[in-house]
Structure 1
Amino acid sequence: MSTPTVDAPGAHLPEHPDFLWHNPEPKRSYDVVIVGGGGHGLATAHYLVKNHGITNVAVIEKGWLAGGNMARNTTLIRSNYLWDESAGIYEHSLKLWEGLEEDLGYPILFSQRGVLNLAHTEQDVRDSVRRVEANKLNGIDAEWLDPDEVAKICPIVNVSSDIRYPVQGATYQPRAGIAKHDYVAWGFARRADEAGVDLIQDCEVTGFVTDGDRVTGVRTTKGDIGCGTVALCAAGHTSVLLDMLGVPAPLQSHPLQALVSELLEPVHPTIVMSNAVHVYVSQAHKGELVMGAGVDTYNGYGQRGAFHIIERQMAAAVELFPVFARAHLLRSWAGVVDVTPDASPIVGSTPYANVFVNCGWGTGGFKATPGLGWCMADTVANQRPHPLIAPFGLDRFVTGALVDEHGAAAVAH
């Protein structure tokens, strides 16, 4: 992609089929510096402009925009989480997804094809029915389906009773879906750039300039950048940034692998997830099957696949979908997820008065993109956590007010 540098951020973009945003050098200072040019950072910048009129903003990214987890996820969007706190932020996000293409003026290929979460044991059934009822109490679309109803929604799922983990039913959220991750990032970046936000690539943070309980500057490979407020949105690398500030956080970064098949004719009408078999599968717009694995057990920042994961995921997919037995693998990759002890994000204030953090989304960051951007922008603009993210503050690991979503996040999602 060609992104020539121009002097005036937000100036008229020349007519060019590949031109989406400018690539400026950083100014001496900004009202807001957002660290991390992925979906969450770009969405935060967009809503700072749209909802609060704040345009003196820089998004700084050590690589290229949306080149981290935003480019490496499996694009699943849903809001059927168990606890009220999680359901609140994810449902807010899903409602924004439903109007996002119009908001951004850019195609994102949002397809609401529904998601099935399969139950294979009596305990699965109890947990699933409980979650459906909790979703209904929160105004979220949710249904409990028996095996025959599962087969009607997705005829290619193996609902036979003589397999290792027979399907005993499933939760179903009809409004769930997928979107084209690259298009989502480009849409947010384009709108932010048009409004005057500086999107600064190849700009790695190396430290911070502090004055008491405030950060006055961000040290980068492109020089020091003064700041009024800092928003940390660097996903799996947020713990590195917090270490620079001397702020401990209970985060672990793990690779999360995924893979896609060769292109196939449309055959898979929805999204299917299974904790017991441990795979989730959807079919992308072009036709490839997108298959996700669980989080790798070791800590690391690797962004590549591994044969033992590929073998396990293909076996799991064939167990659920015998029709895929002769499909060929096209490629595999990994993202880097940041995991907390209660499988919920850390969003909100830090010990520094003008630094706000957004991390710990584990495997659920993509689906939260617009909702989190909205709430993070409100938090920065008003210098206090938005009510929807207030339960996810760093202090909950001291108070014990955890939001334990391990049940909803047992399989990567």
Structure 2
Amino acid sequence: MPSATPPAQPGADLPEHPSFLWRNPDPAAPYDVVIVGGGGHGLATAYYLAAVHGITNVAVLEKGWLAGGNMARNTTIIRSNYLWDESSGIYEHALKLWEGLEDELDYPILFDQRGVLNLAHSLQDVRDSVRRVNANRLNGIDADWLDADAVKEVCPIINVSPDVRYPVLGATYQPRAGIAKHDYVAWGYASAADRLGVDLIQHCEVTGIETTDGRATGVNTTRGRIAAGKVALCASGHSSELAAMAGIELPVQSHPLQALVSELLEPVHPTVVMSNAVHVYVSQAHKGELVMGAGIDSYNGYGQRGSFHIIERQMSAALELFPIFARAHLLRTWAGIVDVSPDASPIIGLTPVDGLYLNCGWGTGGFKATPGVGDCFAHTIANDKPHPYNEPFSLERFTTGALVDEHGAAAVAH
């Protein structure tokens, strides 16, 4: 399917203000399904419950405003070139949905398939990268290995000199990968779900999960008790706090993840470049600012602001790859809150509490999975049975040992 293209001029043909796109109802319990978390995953899950499974008596509860958490704080990279079959399966499912999402939602999400380069800086990087390209091809995913000269052809502004700390020896390349406008993705799902009858309830923080005879029966919130036939948790970095309300201890840890943007620049960066060795990923947004991310902070926390030492290393790495940006000014920095599991893969599926479903542990890869996990999680909730794509990511794998270890295999933090 053809990808969406940005508007000819920045600011032209953009969506109307989101306040006009959906209702702002009060809770009207009971609901068949209550989804906790009004970010991309929660909104997508609600949409697919209504659109695919005909379950429209659904409430999405958000403690702040819709898509004001990690959805508003990510670096918008979309790709599916993961190493393991289980990971590439769900991410490729998501990428295929991304390719038709603008038409499905009837909303401009500015999905731009400009490709992603994952750089290799050592002989071991090269071996791992070629292995991943071969694994991707076996799974029907577009992937190529490029030497340094070919990397320069795809991204002319990148520095491939051998006389640097981490010389570029080559890169994997996924042409179908790219970026999308994160706010528009959330607004598109929200407006589509609202049209189907889903209640999107903002400023409604969950303070407790009610269970009766081992089954979830509702939630307590700052806006009163809300009864529910099923409860689904989609709260990213705060998932462990919510699960604890139902007596479930999750094997995840929450960390801040840094990102920053520059001032507006003329279009000069044609693709997305990611490097694990120097730990930075750089793209140029539709309006013109550079969007840069780094690895997670090593400490646990819920802070949503940048740490100077991380930002300093992030900028140093970016300038080694892109000397052309040496005089660009930093506009703003921030952090999201990511929840990381022991095998760096998500947890999606049923829980020991009947009627309580879990979607968490995405670490730094949640945005790119939005349509795919929304579709699969909706299937899991509707049928009380995992979708084949999310079945390997059950909570039980930490008991059975059937881990999906994406440490390093994911190629970079994002």
Q: TM-score range by the shorter chain?
A: over 0.9
**Matching of residue 367 in structure 1 with residue 374 in structure 2:** no
**Aligned-residue offset at 1:28:** 2.2
- In structure 1, the residue matched to 2:167 is 166
Deviations 1:46-65 (A, max 9, x none): 00111011100000011110
Q: Is the 8 A contact 1:79 1:140 kept in 2?
A: yes
Distance 1:363 1:277, change over 3 A: same
**Matching of residue 203 in structure 1 with residue 231 in structure 2:** no
**Aligned-residue offset at 1:208:** 1.6
Q: Provide the C-alpha distance between the structure 1 equivalents of 2:176 and 2:339, rounded to a whole number of angstroms.
A: 27
**Matching of residue 46 in structure 1 with residue 69 in structure 2:** no
**Aligned-residue offset at 1:16:** 8.6
Paired amino acid for 1:32: V
Deviations 1:183-242 (A, max 9, x none): 000000001111110000111111122111201111111111111111110000000011
Q: Helix, strand or coil for the counterpart of 1:358?
A: strand
- In structure 2, the residue matched to 1:5 is none
- In structure 1, the residue matched to 2:412 is 411
Equivalent residues in 2 for 1:6-405, closer than 5 Å: 18-405=19-406
Deviations 1:55-90 (A, max 9, x none): 000000111100000000000000000000000000
Q: Provide the C-alpha distance between the structure 1 equivalents of 2:240 and 2:143, rounded to a whole number of angstroms.
A: 35
Q: Provide the C-alpha distance between the structure 1 equivalents of 2:19 and 2:166, rounded to a whole number of angstroms.
A: 48
Deviations 1:311-365 (A, max 9, x none): 2111111000111111110100000000001000000010011111000000000
Q: Provide the C-alpha distance between the structure 2 equivalents of 1:251 and 1:134, rounded to a whole number of angstroms.
A: 28
Deviations 1:136-157 (A, max 9, x none): 0000000000000000000111
Q: Helix, strand or coil for the counterpart of 1:132?
A: helix
* Identity between Structure 1 and Structure 2 (%): 77
Q: Is the 8 A contact 2:118 2:411 kept in 1?
A: no
Paired amino acid for 2:341: T
- In structure 2, the residue matched to 1:6 is none
Deviations 1:93-136 (A, max 9, x none): 00000000001101000000000000000000000000000000
Q: Is the 8 A contact 2:235 2:360 kept in 1?
A: yes
Q: Helix, strand or coil for the counterpart of 1:42?
A: helix
Q: Provide the C-alpha distance between the structure 2 equivalents of 1:175 and 1:246, rounded to a whole number of angstroms.
A: 42
Q: Helix, strand or coil for the counterpart of 1:116?
A: strand
Q: Provide the C-alpha distance between the structure 1 equivalents of 2:107 and 2:29, rounded to a whole number of angstroms.
A: 31
What are structure 2's unaligned runs of at least 5 residues?
1-15
TM-score (norm 2): 0.95
**Aligned-residue offset at 1:309:** 2.1
Q: Is the 8 A contact 2:18 2:187 kept in 1?
A: no
Q: Provide the C-alpha distance between the structure 2 equivalents of 1:16 and 1:199, rounded to a whole number of angstroms.
A: 16
Q: Is the 8 A contact 2:234 2:359 kept in 1?
A: yes
Paired amino acid for 1:340: S
Q: Provide the C-alpha distance between the structure 1 equivalents of 2:389 and 2:222, rounded to a whole number of angstroms.
A: 35
**Aligned-residue offset at 1:17:** 8.3
Paired amino acid for 1:350: T
Q: Helix, strand or coil for the counterpart of 1:189?
A: helix
Q: Helix, strand or coil for the counterpart of 2:255?
A: strand
TM-score (norm 1): 0.95
Q: Is the 8 A contact 1:129 1:144 kept in 2?
A: yes
- In structure 2, the residue matched to 1:11 is none
Q: Is the 8 A contact 1:157 1:321 kept in 2?
A: yes
Matched residues, number: 399
**Aligned-residue offset at 1:310:** 2.1
Deviations 1:374-397 (A, max 9, x none): 001111111111110000000100
Structure 1 runs of 4+ with >4 Å offset: 15-18
Deviations 1:287-328 (A, max 9, x none): 000000110011111001122222211111100011111111
Distance 1:377 1:168, change over 3 A: same
Q: Is the 8 A contact 1:293 1:411 kept in 2?
A: no
**Aligned-residue offset at 1:410:** 5.5
RMSD: 1.1
Q: Helix, strand or coil for the counterpart of 1:357?
A: strand
Paired amino acid for 1:199: L
